[in-house]
Structures are given as structure tokens and as C-alpha cells.
């Protein structure tokens, strides 16, 4: 199973080479087969007899962090959406993105994001899930800012990353708490120990942290503000990230941990309030927008809120409806994003005020938009999948049981009315989108381009999604027991059976709610221009975006002031700050934990030669303070280093002695090579305050190191590891020289990274030298 996660990353490594031939063949053609193959792989697991599958690949077993992949109904639903819609998005992008674009960058970012999303939904280890979670934030940042030459693209990319990474760090804190409470990093093991979590005093804090991560990722109020600005990304990105994948990661997180927290009353209160409020606010604000993608952005916010609310309800019916609507929303919203991109591509604008009457010029696109918007609006027609899940939402909202507190009881009473209110505005913005674009008077003189029907290649992907809308609407039973029910059972933690059918009878409260939505929504649609002035009063000038901009401005100002306070350009100041920080942290920790210990028993006698060498080292160290000649200072520093090498010889450590000699020789040589650029010690005239600070820092740090050395020798908290190295150096490393075996084999990765760091530093120095040389030539 790991190959489904890693293959997109591996293919991404070859995209830069493939994209060199983009003028002969579009890079997307090669990329298309990657998500398609993954989709076909997961497709085989659909069926009535599906059982969860688990694979484990060791990563850091000592910390309980492994690549544990768990495929159940929930992860299968999301894996199919990620790969299936990913295939259609890549197909659409082949015709949407011109070959003159930076296709190599685009598809590398897209494959990176695809791999990260698959990692999220398949990971059973919380820390591996978090790793992939943050990878989605980074890759989505790159995708949203793909057109980096646009200021709005850069703003939207940064905004999305700041908000989602803030939530991700909070989620990470929740994961740490859960792992401490349960003693495991496995999500399935945490679910099995839900009773232990519920009894823990840290459970509310863990729940809050995890929900914060989910709300920021799935654009729940008030964290929804990043999603409209993310619409500056190319339309294929919007269709992928904001209909089926990234924005649903938060829904996945809440669904995955629902078996753990669903018995907690505040889980129902917090998640239901956030979801229903987001539904109402997103749908209300969508009607205000004039950009097609902005309408769809707030539409996505409202739909995500509806699904989140159902997950908060926690009942069998609500969870089944949530899983069903996750699939339905991906089909109709993905197609509508592509329709908006097609309109923009063929007319040169997304401003709905300049559009109208395009149905006669773009009949196929208009038909696709009609099916998509009617499904999104929940029009009661048997061939629209959106109506089924919308009515299940209504049904689940009126079947809630009263809670134990006044707040939860009040929510149970008011939620059905808020569900209808949000759905009414959903109907309004759906009609506004489709009729404002494709019907009404033509305004061809306002369009930058003469509109015509899009090429067939651009219509295939949205056409397939609309076909899914219709097929699911006509035969929903095909995906019920074989697909949706398994996902609902994984969330609910038990068997979930639910029939999907169109006609519930005139007496059905849910159907009456749907009729009310259509009736009131139709009236508001027709009279929209008369009441749209309400937006001037509410929200008026109020905006969460202003709060975000103010916070970012203050953060930038204060951080700049703090940075300027210590970034003075003085190496002395930098060393003083670093050493002081180390001193404060280390001494505080050792005092709190009782780390200082003194034990002078069983010490070896100090010989005369050792004492003489130490006195020479001390004299050399002190002498560097008072010398005012550069050459003398270099030689005195060298004497201290060579004295330490001599101590290594006395203590029979020839390897360390040779290393110390080599380092000191090279250091003295480098000092002499840089002699011309060294400061003139004769002219050094430091004020008394500076000398006092230097003395305090140096004496304090030296005392700390001395006490650490004495404490380390005096304490016996941990068993020695030297016996292990002595016993295994030959059997594991194949060498008798224990030090060499430790450096090369026992800590081989550490040595490898040290070499890599040195190599990177060398490349950086070489680049700077070349840059300076080229600049001098110019």
C-alpha cells in the first residue's frame, strides 16, 4: 500500500526532465496515468465483503513511529476521491494550461500534494499523519501561489499556509496528548482505548487542539477566510484542492476521531455549532460575490459546514449522510469549478456582472453547469445526487435527541431551522451562479474575448463528474452497501444501514423542509436585487479578513522590532546572546531536576605532567584576554589547543589526539591566512560595561560546563553504553577500532548528514565567490 503514497513523489522527481519536452507533448499527459493507476488500484476494494487492510513499514520503531497504513471504508472513500478526481483534474489541466506555463513546477507541486493527501487518509500513526498534514500545507502554498507574479496569488498562498499551519501545530499538540494518555501512536489503538481517553483530565485539551486543526483546514468559521483568497490559484488547483481533497482533510480528521470523542457532550456542541454556523455564513456570503470562483469558494465553505455539522450530530443517520454528501459534493463542486474555469478561459473574465446569455454560445458548458448547480441546490429531482444527501441532512437534523444540558437541548431545537436557513441561501447562490452566467441578456461588448464553446478535451472531465451526479442520483443503491456504508461504519464504530430513496411521502418533514427551501429560495432569487442592500448593513464593514491583516501587520512589526534589537551585526553580541540563553536554560533545567551532583570518590591521582599541561592551557586561555598583538593571540590560542591534544595523548586516546592536532593546525593556518582581515587588537578600547558583560558571560558559561562535567562524572543515572560498543563493534561493524566503527557504522547516518552539511556549505561558499567575481567583472 505504501507505493500508492510514494509513487506520486517518485514520479515528481522525473517531471523536471519530462517537462523539457512540453512543446512536443503536454507534460500532463505523462502525469495523468499516475492518479489513474492509483484509482484503479483502490477501485478493486469496493464491494459488500470489504474488510479493513493494514500494512506496517518500520521507520522509527524505537519511538513508535512507523508507516502504518490502514485501509477501511473511510480511507477508501477519500483515497478514491483523491485519485479519481485527481485524474480528472490532470486531464482538465492538459487543455486549461498552455504549454508556455511552468508545467514542470505545476505538476511537481500537484503530485506532491496528491501524495501528501493519500498519506493523511491512509496513515494510522498520528505523527506520520501530521507529517503528511503539513506537507499538504506546503504543497498547497506552492499551488495557490503558482502564478507568483500576481500579488493576490502570493497573498492567498501565504494566508492559507499561515492559518492551516497554525491549526496543524495545534493538532500536533493534541496528538502528543493522546499518545501520552494511551501510550500508543496508533489511531486504531486510540479508538480501542476511547474509555481511557474519556477518563483523562487532558481529554478536553486534546479535543480542542485536534478540532482547531480540523477547523482551520476545512475552512470553518471564523477560519474560513483563507479559502476565498486561495481562488487565485489556477482553476485545476481550485477544482482539486477545494472540492475533493485539502478542504476535506479536516472533515476526515473529525470523522476519524469521532469514535473517540463522540461520547463527549461538548464534541456535539462545538462541532455542530461550528458546522451549522459555517453553513449559514458561507451560503449567505456567497450571494454577495461577483466572481464565479468566489461564489464557489463561499459555496464550498457552506457545504463543508453542513458536513461538519452532521459529523457533530454523531447519529447513524447523520454520519451516513455526511459520508454520502462528501462524495456528492466532490462530483458537483468539482464540475462547477471546471465550468467556471472554462467560462474564464473562453470569455476572459469571471465577473458575473459582465456575463450572461452564454447558454446559446456555450450550450454544453451551460448544460453541465445546470446539472451541477441544481444538484448543489438540492432541487428535488430523482437524477440529482445532491438532493438525496441534502434531504438526509434535514432528516438527521430533526432526529437529534435532547442533550443533558440546556445548551445542547437548545441546539437540538434550533438546528433544523438553521439548516433550512443555510439551505435557502444555498439555493439562491446556485441559481445566481447558473442563471447569471448562462441566461439573461448577452453582454458581449463587456467581454475581453469573443466566447465560444470550449474544446472537447476541456469538457470531458466536468462531463464525467456530471455523469456521476446523474448516475448516483438514478441508482444510489449501487454505492450504498458496497461503498458508503463501509465509510459510515468506520466513523460510527458499528454497523450502519441506511436506505437511499427519492420519495419519502408528502408527510415527510425532511421533504417539507426541501419544499420550503425551494419555495422561499425561488422568491429570494427573483427579488435578489431588491434585498441585496442588506449586505451594506450586515456584515457591512465588519470583516474577519481585516482582523487577519491587522494581526499579520502587528506580528510583522513586533517581530521586526525584536529582530532588530539583537541583529546588530556584532558577532560578539550574537555569541553573548547564544551563550547566555544556553546558560539560562541549562542551569534552570538542572536546578529543577536536581541535575547537579558532586562525588569525588574513586578518582584517579593527578600526576605532575597532567597538572603542568593544565596550567599551561589555563595560562594560554587567560593570556588571550590580555594580549594586544594579533600574532601572539593566534599562537597562544594554538598553545591551548595543542595542550588539549597532549592531554588526549596522556589519557591514551590517540585518535582524538590526532584529530585535535589536525584541527588546531588547520585553525592556526586559517587564522594566519586571514591575518590581514583580523581586527587590530592594539586599537581595541572597549568600555567597562562591555568588559563586565564579557566577564560575566564567559565565567558563567565556563562554570556551567565545569559543573556539567563534574555532574556527569558523579552521576550514574543511565547504564554505560561503552560495553555495547565493545561487544558489537566487530560483529556489527566488522572492525576492531571501536571509535572508527562508531563513527562510520554505529552513527553512520549522523556522519553522512555532517558530510552533507559540509558539502552544502562548500557549495554556498563557492556560489558566493562566483557571484562576487561575476559582479566584479560587470
pLDDT tens-digit series, residues 180-224: 999 999 999 999 999 999 999 999 999 999 999 999 999 999 999
pLDDT for 720 equals 77
Tens digits of per-residue pLDDT, 693-749?
Answer: 888 998 999 999 988 888 888 877 777 788 888 888 888 888 888 888 887 888 777
Q: Sorting pLDDT into bands at 50, 70 and 90, what band is 288?
A: very high
pLDDT tens track for 499-512:
887 777 777 888 99
| pLDDT higher than threshold 90 for residue 431 | yes
Q: Phi, psi (5° rounding) for residue 243?
A: -125, -35
**Percent of the chain's residues with pLDDT above 90:** 57
Indicate whether 483 pLDDT > 90: no
Look at residue 47 in the predicted model and tell me its pLDDT. 84
As a whole number of angstroms, the distance between CA 370 and CA 229 comes to: 26
pLDDT confidence bin for 417, thresholds 50/70/90: very high
Helix H or strand E encompassing 65: strand 65-71
Query: Is the per-residue pLDDT at 523 higher than 60?
Result: yes
Are the C-beta atoms of residues 342 and 335 closer than 8 Å to each other?
no
Q: Cell numbers at residue 489, please?
A: 461504519
Secondary structure letter of residue 125 according to DSSP:
B
Arithmetic mean of pLDDT, 548-556 = 91
Instruction: Read off the DSSP letter of residue 715.
Output: -
What cell was used for 521? 429560495
Is pLDDT at 519 greater than 90 in this prediction? yes
Q: Tell me: the pLDDT tens digits for 348-389? A: 999 999 999 999 999 999 999 999 999 999 999 888 999 999
Q: Could you report the per-residue pLDDT of 116-160, keeping only the tens digit for each?
A: 999 999 999 999 999 999 999 999 999 999 999 899 999 999 999
pLDDT digits (tens, 9 = 90+) for 456-465: 989 999 999 9
pLDDT band per the 50, 70, 90 thresholds, residue 659: confident
pLDDT band for position 404 (50/70/90)?
low
pLDDT of 399 above 90: no
Phi-psi group of 47: left, alpha or beta (phi > 0 → left; psi -120 to 50 → alpha; rest → beta): left
Grid coordinates given for 33? 496515468
Q: What pLDDT, in 10s, does the model give residues 48-70? A: 778 889 998 888 887 778 889 99
Cβ pair 247, 337 in contact under 8 A? no
Percentage of the chain exceeding pLDDT 70: 98
pLDDT interval class at 243 (50, 70, 90)? confident
In total, the chain counts a number of residues equal to 778
Instruction: Please list the helix, strand and coil fractions of the chain in percent, rounded to the nearest 5, in that order.
Output: 75, 5, 20
Confidence of residue 590 (pLDDT cuts 50, 70, 90): confident
- Confidence check: pLDDT of 246 > 70: yes
For residue 333, pLDDT beyond 90:
yes
In this predicted model, which residue has the larger pLDDT, 631 or 706?
706
**Is pLDDT at 677 greater than 80 in this prediction?**
no
Determine which of 355-364, 385-394, 625-634 has the lowest per-residue pLDDT on average.
625-634
CB 500 within 8 A of CB 480: yes
Report in angstroms the alpha-carbon separations of 581 from 5, 567, 756.
Answer: 42, 15, 28
Angle (CA) 485 489 494, round 5°: 135
The pTM of the full predicted model, rounded to 2 decimals, is: 0.83
Which residue ranges make up each domain of the chain? 327-532, 539-567, 719-778
The SS3 assignment for 67 reads strand
- Give the span between the Cα atoms of 3 and 644, in whole angstroms: 52
Do 150 and 232 meet the contact criterion of CB atoms below 8 Å apart?
Answer: yes
For residues 363 and 412, the answer to whether their CB atoms sit within 8 Å is no
Q: Which residue has the cell 417539507?
A: 512
Q: Where are the alpha helices (DSSP H) in 567-629?
A: 571-593, 608-626
**For residues 509 and 391, what is the distance between their CA atoms, to the nearest angstrom?**
10
Show Cβ contacts of residue 537 under 8 Å, excluding neighbours closer than 6 positions: none
How high does pLDDT run on average in the chain? 89
What is each CA distance from 104 to 22, 137, 521, 627, in whole angstroms?
9, 20, 45, 59
Alpha-carbon distance of 31 to 770, in angstroms, equals 37
What does the block give as the cell for 68? 502504518
Interval 315-323 mean pLDDT: 92
Q: Is residue 704 helix, strand or coil?
A: helix
Beta-bridge partner residues of 212: none
What pLDDT band is residue 328 in, cutting at 50, 70 and 90? Answer: very high
- pLDDT band for 775, please (50, 70, 90 cuts): low
Across the range 284-309, mean pLDDT stands at 94
Predicted confidence at residue 493, as pLDDT, reads 84
Residue 682 has pLDDT above 80, yes or no: no
Amino acid at each position: 500500500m505504501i507505493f500508492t503514497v510514494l509513487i506520486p513523489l517518485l514520479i515528481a522527481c522525473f517531471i523536471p526532465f519530462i517537462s523539457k519536452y512540453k512543446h512536443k507533448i503536454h507534460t500532463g499527459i505523462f502525469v495523468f496515468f499516475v492518479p489513474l493507476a492509483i484509482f484503479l488500484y483502490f477501485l478493486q476494494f469496493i464491494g459488500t465483503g470489504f474488510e479493513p487492510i493494514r500494512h506496517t513499514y518500520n521507520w522509527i520503531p524505537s519511538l513508535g513511529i512507523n508507516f502504518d497504513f490502514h485501509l477501511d471504508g473511510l480511507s477508501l472513500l477519500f483515497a478514491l476521491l483523491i485519485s479519481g478526481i485527481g485524474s480528472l483534474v490532470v486531464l482538465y489541466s492538459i487543455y486549461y494550461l498552455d504549454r508556455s506555463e511552468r508545467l514542470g513546477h505545476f505538476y511537481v507541486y500537484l503530485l506532491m500534494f496528491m501524495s501528501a493527501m493519500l498519506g493523511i487518509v491512509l496513515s494510522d500513526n498520528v505523527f506520520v499523519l501530521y507529517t503528511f498534514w503539513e506537507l499538504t500545507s506546503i504543497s498547497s502554498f506552492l499551488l495557490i501561489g503558482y502564478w507568483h507574479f500576481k500579488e493576490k496569488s502570493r497573498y492567498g498562498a501565504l494566508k492559507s499556509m499561515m492559518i492551516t499551519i497554525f491549526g496543524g501545530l495545534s493538532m500536533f499538540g493534541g496528538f502528543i496528548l493522546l499518545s501520552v494518555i494511551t501510550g500508543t501512536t496508533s489511531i486504531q489503538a486510540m479508538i480501542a482505548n476511547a474509555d481511557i481517553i474519556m477518563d483523562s483530565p487532558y481529554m478536553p485539551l486534546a479535543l480542542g487542539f485536534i478540532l482547531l486543526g480540523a477547523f482551520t483546514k476545512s475552512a470553518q468559521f471564523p477560519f474560513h477566510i483563507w479559502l476565498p483568497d486561495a481562488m487565485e490559484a489556477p482553476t485545476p488547483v481550485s477544482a482539486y484542492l477545494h472540492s475533493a481533497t485539502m478542504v476535506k482533510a479536516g472533515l476526515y480528521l473529525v470523522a476519524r476521531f469521532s469514535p473517540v470523542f463522540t461520547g463527549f457532550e461538548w464534541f456535539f456542541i462545538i462541532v455542530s455549532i461550528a458546522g451549522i454556523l459555517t453553513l449559514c455564513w458561507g451560503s449567505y456570503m456567497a450571494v454577495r460575490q461577483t466572481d464565479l470562483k468566489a461564489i464557489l469558494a463561499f459555496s464550498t465553505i457552506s457545504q463543508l459546514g453542513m458536513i461538519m455539522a452532521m459529523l457533530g450530530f454523531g447519529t447513524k443517520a447523520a454520519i451516513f449522510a455526511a459520508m454520502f454528501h462528501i462524495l456528492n459534493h466532490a462530483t458537483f463542486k468539482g464540475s462547477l469549478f471546471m465550468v467556471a474555469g472554462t467560462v474564464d478561459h473562453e470569455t476572459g473574465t469571471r465577473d458575473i456582472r459582465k456575463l450572461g446569455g452564454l447558454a446559446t454560445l456555450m450550450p454544453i458548458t451551460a448544460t453541465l453547469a445546470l446539472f451541477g448547480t441544481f444538484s448543489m441546490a438540492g432541487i428535488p429531482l430523482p437524477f440529482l445526487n445532491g438532493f438525496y444527501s441534502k434531504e438526509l441532512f434535514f432528516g438527521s437534523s430533526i432526529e437529534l435527541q435532547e442533550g443533558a444540558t440546556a445548551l445542547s437541548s437548545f441546539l437540538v431545537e434550533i438546528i433544523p431551522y438553521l439548516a433550512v436557513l443555510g439551505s435557502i441561501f444555498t439555493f439562491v447562490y446556485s441559481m445566481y451562479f447558473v442563471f447569471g452566467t448562462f441566461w439573461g441578456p448577452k453582454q458581449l461588448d463587456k467581454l475581453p474575448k469573443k466566447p465560444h464553446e470550449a474544446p472537447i478535451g476541456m469538457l470531458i472531465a466536468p462531463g464525467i463528474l456530471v455523469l456521476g451526479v446523474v448516475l448516483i442520483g438514478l441508482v444510489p443503491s449501487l454505492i450504498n452497501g458496497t461503498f458508503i456504508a463501509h465509510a459510515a461504519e468506520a466513523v460510527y464504530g458499528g454497523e450502519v444501514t441506511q436506505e437511499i430513496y427519492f420519495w419519502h411521502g408528502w408527510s415527510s418533514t425532511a421533504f417539507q423542509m426541501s419544499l420550503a427551501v425551494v419555495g422561499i429560495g425561488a422568491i429570494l432569487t427573483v427579488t435578489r436585487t431588491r434585498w441585496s442592500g442588506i449586505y451594506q448593513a450586515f456584515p457591512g464593514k465588519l470583516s474577519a479578513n481585516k482582523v487577519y491583516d491587522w494581526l499579520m501587520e502587528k506580528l510583522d512589526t513586533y517581530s521586526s522590532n525584536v529582530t532588530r534589537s539583537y541583529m546588530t551585526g556584532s558577532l560578539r553580541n550574537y555569541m553573548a546572546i547564544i551563550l547566555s540563553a544556553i546558560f539560562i536554560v541549562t542551569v534552570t533545567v538542572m536546578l529543577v531536576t536536581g541535575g547537579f551532583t558532586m562525588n569525588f570518590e574513586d578518582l584517579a591521582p593527578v600526576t605532575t605532567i597532567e597538572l603542568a599541561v593544565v596550567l599551561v592551557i589555563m595560562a594560554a586561555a587567560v593570556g588571550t584576554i590580555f594580549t594586544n598583538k594579533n600574532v601572539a593571540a593566534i599562537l597562544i590560542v594554538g598553545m591551548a589547543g595543542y595542550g588539549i591534544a597532549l592531554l588526549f595523548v596522556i589519557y591514551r586516546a590517540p585518535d582524538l589526539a590526532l584529530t585535535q592536532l589536525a584541527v588546531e593546525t588547520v585553525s592556526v593556518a586559517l587564522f594566519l591566512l586571514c591575518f590581514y582581515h583580523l581586527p587590530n587588537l592594539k586599537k581595541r578600547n572597549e568600555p567597562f560595561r562591555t568588559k563586565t558583560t564579557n566577564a560575566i558571560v564567559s565565567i558563567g558559561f565556563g562554570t556551567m560546563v565545569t559543573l556539567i562535567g563534574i555532574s556527569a562524572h558523579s552521576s550514574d543515572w543511565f547504564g554505560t553504553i561503552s560495553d555495547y560498543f565493545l561487544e558489537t563493534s566487530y560483529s556489527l561493524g566488522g572492525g576492531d577500532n571501536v571509535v572508527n566503527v562508531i563513527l562510520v557504522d554505529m552513527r553512520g547516518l549522523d556522519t553522512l548528514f555532517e558530510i552533507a552539511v559540509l558539502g552544502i556549505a562548500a557549495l554556498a561558499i563557492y556560489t558566493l565567490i562566483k557571484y562576487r567575481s561575476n559582479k566584479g567583472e560587470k
